[in-house]
Structures are given as C-alpha cells and as structure tokens.
Amino acid sequence: MENHSIFKSNRCCVIITGASKGFGRILAKKFAHSFFNQFSNDKESILKFILIARNENELDSLANELRSIDSRCNMVTKIVTDLAETKAIDDINKEFEQNLNSNLSKPYGHYILIHNAGSIGKTTELCDTVTVNDAAKRHVYYRLNLYSVMEITSVFLRQIKTHHCHIINVSSLAAIKPMPGLLDYCVGKAAREAYFKQLANELITTKQSKTKYRILNYAPGPLDTEMFRQLQQESTLQKQFQETIPLKPEDSANKLLQILYKDEFADAAHVDYYD
C-alpha cells in the first residue's frame, strides 16, 4: 500500500515563518502532535523546528509548549528577525547553513517549509488611488509578503539534502478572487502563487535534484485572528466580514494535515479549506 503518512521520515525538520502567533503557532503544535503520534514508539525519531518571527518572547513561549508535547521535541531553533528587512535573509541563511545540514549521524529525511508570515496592508485601497508617494511603503509590504518568500525558498533549496520535501504557501481566497480595498493583499497573494507554480514547473522540467518535492498553496479560510478583526473594523468589505463567521485556526490546521495525509493535490495547486 502506498504510504500516505504526512511524515516520510522519522528525522524531520519543520521551518515556519510567522510562527509566534496565530495560524503559524497553531501549525507548529499540530505538526509536533502529528509527528510524535506517528512515531510514538520510535526512540530514534527526531523532530527539528526552525521558528521565524519578530517576537522573541512569543517564540520562547512556543518553544516551551512544543517541548511539553513530547520530551523528544527538544530541538528548536529561533530566528528573531523582521522579514520586511533585507538583513533577515542574511540571518536566515546563516541559521540554515548551521541547522539544515547538521552534524547528525543521519541527515534529516524530510523537510517541511511553511511560508505563513504576512500582513494585510491597506484595507481601503483601490487601483485608482495608487500613487508614487506610496512607493516606499509598498516596497516594504512586498518585501515582507513576496520578496522574502522567494529569497527564503531559494536559500532553502540550495541548502537541503534529503529525499522528501514539502513547501507550503499559506495563501488566501484573495489570490484568485478580487476583493475591493485589499489591493496589495490580493496582488501579493496572487504573485506568491504564481511564484510557486513557476517553482513547481522548474523542479519538474529540470530534475536537478533527487529530492521529491510537494508544493501546496493552502488557503486556510477566514480565521479568527487579529487580521480578521482588522478587516471587520476598517476595511472596504467591513460589512461582509462582520457577517462572516470566522474559522478556528485549529480547525483549518487540521484540514491542512488531512490534505497532506491524503496527498492527492497537484503540485502548486490552490486548495481552499472549503474545497
């Protein structure tokens, strides 16, 4: 029978951006529970986390929560950095060099990279309101929400040496459906998905690596987070979001695990919580 387990190796490294709160924090804990349930009787199993966020205190708190899940969950690297700054990529590159090809007697057999970090940007901006005066702020927005994703992925691809790799882009319905007022958010999410479709195509056509890649654009649905409450309070779609019942991040995280478990999606496909 074909193996549909989420984890393809008992030695796995999970990398999450925007890990300190919200959906990223929930994902870290869900992946830890899933891993140690799958390898409950395997004393040789190793789960490494690389957590990336701006808030060091929240990362420390998450690291403690992960350790409490299982005594084997004691390999946590924290990268405290702001992905809206170019220095962040240098910080991540240095940590990847030290951690992705570690001194383990056996290398990691499975990597999971989750691009969760992001921001909503302006919530009342229309196409005819764009001006050159906003260029600097817009550059910062795309540095966080697009450029850093491309750069981190590139660093990651150059560093890993393994047989299995998942790359998960936390996307949105906004990537495929216009939403008035959320101009940069829609453009950024659409561009991220275009990038991962390009990556999937390159990995298929070039076959430069023996690594088996699985790439997914996952839209988690309207989550009960700070971003959703911001949309309820001050966006062009304020009334629509006020009438929307948000999802619990835990439920959407469970759906993502289910999608990965079934492993039926096409590479770089857009899969929504409601699909």
CATH of the domain at 201: 3.40.50.720
Instruction: Indicate whether 46 pLDDT > 80.
Output: yes
The C-alpha angle with vertex 211 and arms to 209 and 216, in degrees rounded to 5, equals 115
Task: Indicate the pTM of the whole model.
Answer: 0.94
Identify the band that residue 11 occupies on the pLDDT scale cut at 50, 70 and 90. very high
Q: Which domain holds residue 46?
A: 11-221+251-270
Question: Between 149 and 230, whose confidence is greater?
Answer: 149
- 234 belongs to a structural domain: no
Instruction: Indicate whether 3 pLDDT > 80.
Output: no
**86 phi and psi, to 5 degrees?**
-65, -30
- 217 belongs to a structural domain: yes
Q: Quick one: pLDDT at residue 152?
A: 98
- 246 belongs to a structural domain: no
- 242 belongs to a structural domain: no
- 227 belongs to a structural domain: no
- 159 belongs to a structural domain: yes
Question: Between 267 and 102, whose confidence is greater?
Answer: 267
- 87 belongs to a structural domain: yes
Q: Which of 28, 4, 7 lies closest to 170 in space, CA to CA?
A: 28
- 229 belongs to a structural domain: no
Instruction: Indicate whether 204 pLDDT > 80.
Output: no
Question: Between 107 and 75, whose confidence is greater?
Answer: 75
Q: Quick one: pLDDT at residue 91?
A: 94
Q: How many CA atoms lie within 13 A of 12 on its CB side?
A: 26
Cβ–Cβ under 8 Å, residues 219 and 175: yes
What residues have CB less than 8 Å from 51, skipping those under 6 apart?
16, 19, 20, 28, 59, 62, 63, 76, 77, 78, 79
Q: Quick one: pLDDT at residue 7?
A: 96
Domain count of the fold of the chain? 1
